Amino acid sequence: GALMIYFYRDMPRFSQPYQILTFLMDIDSLLQKWRYNHVMLVQRMLGSKQGTGGSSGYLYLRTTVSDRYKVFIDLFNLSTWLIPRVYIPKLSKRMVRTLSHHSSLNANWDN
């Protein structure tokens, strides 16, 4: 689903979902920055002493700055599967009509 959102993000129906995917990646990046800043603070304040929570402190925290701890790593890896726009299949007229009618799609959710 995320690939379809990326491929057709210029269509009105997919612009908001695309923004949400982008915001999720932004949140993940900000968490990574916070972790890094926290690691640097711990190194400055505690050095390599044991952490306040009983962990190994700086040595443990340093490992949490890797991609392994990204929450939305799959979204970052989507670019692996992206192809040039020229190769993206054109949607049928019927599909474009269906995706363009926000009210008809949203009406099903209201019932």
Q: What is the total count of domains within the chain? A: 1
Residue 80 is part of which domain span? 2-95
The answer as to whether 32 is a domain residue is yes
Question: Is 75 in a helix, a strand, or coil?
Answer: helix
**For each of the chain's 111 residues, which pLDDT tens digit applies?**
999 999 999 888 899 999 999 999 999 999 999 999 999 998 898 888 887 777 788 888 888 888 888 999 999 999 888 888 889 888 889 888 888 765 444 544 444
- Residue 70 near residue 35 (C-beta atoms within 8 A): no
CATH number (domain holding residue 36): 1.20.58.480
- 104 within some domain: no
In-domain check, residue 102: no
